[in-house]
């Protein structure tokens, strides 16, 4: 059973830069149905949101992302 995520609603609440290492904090705060490991798996398959690297860490830009 999966939740439906209203990304338009979340866009207003999520920060401009979304650090993958802090994803689980956002999951708890906004009730997202998947953890950081799921994003990592999607990234490895090339199916995740567009990512960048900043200071050696993966970051997603809310405005550039396909899913955020």
pLDDT, tens digit, 9 for 90 and up, residues 47-67: 888 889 999 999 988 775 555
Secondary structure class of 2 (helix, strand, coil): coil
Write out the H or E segment, with its range, that includes residue 18. strand 17-19
Strand partners, 52: 59
Q: What is the pLDDT of residues 3-52, one digit of tens each?
A: 566 667 777 778 888 899 999 998 888 877 788 999 899 889 988 888 89
Sequence ranges of the domains in the chain = 11-61
pLDDT of residue 1: 46
pLDDT of residue 6: 64
pTM for the whole thing? Answer: 0.67
Give the span between the Cα atoms of 13 and 16, in whole angstroms. 9
């Amino acid at each position: 059973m999966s939740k439906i995520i209203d990304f338009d609603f979340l866009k207003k609440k999520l920060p401009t830069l979304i650090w993958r290492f802090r994803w689980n904090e956002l999951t708890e705060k906004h009730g997202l149905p998947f953890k950081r490991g799921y994003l990592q798996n999607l990234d490895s398959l090339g199916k995740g949101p567009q990512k960048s690297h900043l200071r050696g860490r993966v970051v997603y830009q809310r405005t550039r992302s396909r899913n955020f």
